[in-house]
Structure 1
Amino acid sequence: MTASKLLVVIGITGTQGSSVANALLQSPEWHIRGISRNPSSAAAKLWTSKGVQMVKADLDDVTSLEAAFSGATAIFAVTDFYNLVFSPVHAAAAHEAGMAPNEYARNIETKQGINIATAANSPVVSATLTHFVFSSLSDTKRWSGGKYTWNFHFDGKADVVKHIKQKVPDLAAKMSTVQVGMYASNWKGGMGRPQKQEDGSFVVQIPDVGETKLPWIFVQRDTGVYVKALLENETGKDILAFSEMATWREFWELWSSIRGVKLRVQVVSVESFFQFFPEILRREFQESLRYITEFGYTGGDPDVCGDLQELSPNAKATSLREYIGSEDWSSLE
């Protein structure tokens, strides 16, 4: 059976994009095209070996995106704030402009998102496009009433959504958004990484944010589950993608139970929790966490759905128990 629909995946060699591609890869009705700046890379060739068509395109080049999107039935779009904020080229440009690297990265990320929208709305692409799924996050400044202004990795994406709704109505009519929750794998980057003690027990620090339940996601699996559900529905849906809601304490106590190890939870201030992070990210993460704790991950946006079964009754996200059981924890030993 020949696939009748074409899904173009931005970021297919990254975490979210690869999850989306894997979720649709075995579907007989979908053919997948991946976008890469270097289709000859080892990561890109791996997708080619799976039957994915890999094409070259750059988020800074609208013309290349138009060509990559040609014939698409659906597009999954994601932008990467962290790649931009740690880029030496952009850091130098930010310094020259007298801007914080975070703010500069947000501006570039927003511009790239607008480039994606411009290309997706071009006549040759819009002729076949029915679904445009954008990976966004909530509008911090709006939902906090201006209280939090340094959550740039949220606001750059939210600015793209605002641009599309205000300036690109034809594409807005085809758009759905997915707000991907807190990566359950963030511990690998040091965000609450358990430390093994001499007696074989562990100590883990959690931030002093009360018993707030957070939307943890096994991003490598469940991003695709949610995007697939959006593609099976009419457009105009906004959903929070998560595997399971849990407090920070619940997450690690479940880990301790499953792993069969003794664990002591140490509650520290938000400032202390992020003290070992690169300086460029400390304020960013502190404000982000305080915003999430006070206003919620979606900021309390009433238009964002938090129920996967409402979109797709048969869809199932991964439980934290399943995530913890499948994860490689050998680096903690």
Structure 2
Amino acid sequence: MASKKVIVVFGATGNQGGSVARAILEDENICVRVATRDVTKPAAVALQDLGAEVVKCDLNSKEDVNGILKGAYGTFLVTNFWEGHSKEKEVKQGKTVADASKHLGLEHVVYSGLENVKKLTKGKLEVHHFDGKGQVEEYFWSIGVPMTSVRLSAYFENFLNIWKPVKASDGDYYNLVLPMKDIPLDGISVADIGPAVASIFRSPEEFLGKTVGLSAEALTVQQYADILSKTLGKVVKDSKISLEDYEKLGLPEVKEMAAMMRFYHMRPDRDVQLTHKLNPKVKSFSQFVSENKDAFKDL
């Protein structure tokens, strides 16, 4: 164990961090150290069964973070804005890991970052769950931590919940209620993120100091609808809803989601070709829907 590189994975009991932890665990030369507030959580126990070292750690505690990173080669960090709906808390957590990484001399941090939309648009647009990650990303660079920032696309998994097709009130068909006009929307399955991050850790000379945008493919809402129709045998259409009408729907987090869609209209930089190089088995949306047909059964 002592001769192996140690990579600490934060957020490993969640979907994104779990995908990363499982992918890195496939490398026999690496010891995966999982950070979790609850070591008895089923997801933590499952990772331990796969060979991970599971350690109790609270991201809000500088002492915990320094303790778990001690002796590590690198770390993967994802923070969860939605847990506390606080950009400030997310930024504080990210900076705590950045400071500890610098102090302890970690050789490679892979950070799940996003654009600082407020800064990019000179204050015209705010996307809180992007902006906080963007601030943390900037902080990592500013203090000289050897880092790769990975910026993700929308999850295909969103189509199983918040973006699930909605039954039309005026006919026997379903609508995708996404205000994207005809602008392609980058997407990826969360399960495919881990192998891409594992590839980045294996090639530090290529990716240190860089920002990498991950996307399996970019499709218009109509193309997403066509794939759902073909695979599920139901008629799914693009609702063609405007951003203004979308904001009036009163959905949970609708203003935050609308702001995110406005930013997606600007086509943030995601690299489909590089993503397929990092993870040659990355799934298309068609493959994703085929593999998850049961989850759409109640349409």
TM, length-normalised to structure 2: 0.90
For residues 104-155 of structure 1, give each alpha carbon's deviation from its aligned partner in whole angstroms, at most 9, with x where no partner exists.
Answer: x111110110011112122xx31xx221000001121232233212x11000
Q: Between Structure 1 and Structure 2, how many residues are aligned? A: 294
The one-letter amino acid paired with 2:282 is A
Query: 1:188 and 1:64, CA in 2 relative to 1: closer, same or farther beyond 3 A?
Result: same
Counterpart for residue 132 of structure 2 = 156
- 2:123, 2:181 → 1: CA distance? 23
Query: 1:59 and 1:2, CA in 2 relative to 1: closer, same or farther beyond 3 A?
Result: closer
Between 1:61-70 and 1:136-145, the stretch displaced more is: 136-145
Counterpart for residue 332 of structure 1 = 298
| Displacement after TM superposition at 1:198 (Å) | 10
Asked if 2 retains the 8 angstrom alpha-carbon contact of 1:79 and 1:112, the reply is yes
Q: What residue ranges of structure 2 are gaps of 5+ in the alignment?
A: none
Q: 1:180 aligns with which of 131, 152, 170?
A: 152
Q: 1:116 aligns with which of 93, 97, 106?
A: 97
- 2:212, 2:281 → 1: CA distance? 14
Counterpart for residue 246 of structure 1 = 219
- 1:180, 1:20 → 2: CA distance? 13
| Displacement after TM superposition at 1:3 (Å) | 6.7
Identical columns (%): 26
For residues 259-307 of structure 1, give each alpha carbon's deviation from its aligned partner in whole angstroms, at most 9, with x where no partner exists.
Answer: 22223432212243352422xx2221111111210x2234xxxxx7553
- 1:108, 1:20 → 2: CA distance? 23
Asked if 1 retains the 8 angstrom alpha-carbon contact of 2:176 and 2:221, the reply is no
TM, length-normalised to structure 1: 0.81
Q: What residue ranges of structure 1 are gaps of 5+ in the alignment?
A: 86-104, 299-303
Counterpart for residue 146 of structure 1 = 123
- 2:251 aligned with 1:277: yes
- 1:331, 1:116 → 2: CA distance? 42
SS at match of 2:137: helix
- 2:15, 2:237 → 1: CA distance? 31
Output the aligned Cα RMSD: 2.3
Asked if 2 retains the 8 angstrom alpha-carbon contact of 1:107 and 1:156, the reply is yes
Asked if 1 retains the 8 angstrom alpha-carbon contact of 2:217 and 2:272, the reply is no
Counterpart for residue 267 of structure 1 = 240
Query: 1:246 and 1:264, CA in 2 relative to 1: closer, same or farther beyond 3 A?
Result: closer
For residues 159-191 of structure 1, give each alpha carbon's deviation from its aligned partner in whole angstroms, at most 9, with x where no partner exists.
Answer: 01111222x12x1xx100101110111133332
The one-letter amino acid paired with 2:298 is L
Counterpart for residue 308 of structure 1 = 274
- 2:59, 2:158 → 1: CA distance? 26
Counterpart for residue 50 of structure 2 = 50
